[in-house]
Amino acid sequence: MEPDLLPTEVIVINPPTNLGQIKLDWLPQPGHYISVAGRTYAILERHHHYQYKIGGYCLHKISVHVQPAQKPQETSFVDGRTVIGDASCRFNAASEIFRCAVNPDGPCADCRLYEARDRAAIDAATKML
């Protein structure tokens, strides 16, 4: 028996291009990466599309808006989620989508602007998101 595969439409945001529909066995989230036709894309937005069937509405498909990207090599695990870059740096954005304001392209290793932040500041930054 084939597992439930979710039809997912992949749309590049700039320039607006529809890459077609693929079937996924996982729920795509903003900040995750997806490979289509040999290229890697960062997921920026996710939209649900419902269809009415007897008894109510059912999830019909999902569309994800993406941009071309390379999967980051440097990641940190903070409060149960993966963020880009070194989360112990004061300038880290604690985000799945971008690294920081002072060195957005990275790498974090040997960054001359690195400033350590205490664990309480890391916890506070991730709770604000």
**pLDDT at 120 (0 to 100):** 62
pLDDT in tens, 32-74: 888 898 898 989 999 999 999 988 999 899 999 999 988 777 7
CA distance 73 to 106: 10
pLDDT in tens, 107-118: 777 888 888 877
CA distance 22 to 101: 34
For residue 128, give every residue at least 6 positions away whose Cβ sits within 8 Å of its Cβ, in sequence order, or none.
none
Instruction: Give which of 107, 74, 79, 103 is closest to 91, Cα–Cα.
Output: 103
**pLDDT at 126 (0 to 100):** 55
Tell me the whole-structure pTM to 2 decimals. Answer: 0.64
pLDDT in tens, 78-129: 777 778 888 888 888 887 777 887 887 777 778 888 888 776 655 665 555 5
**pLDDT at 1 (0 to 100):** 40
Q: How large a percentage of the chain has pLDDT more than 90?
A: 28
Domain ranges of the chain: 6-68, 72-129
Instruction: Give which of 5, 59, 9, 1 is closest to 34, Cα–Cα.
Output: 9
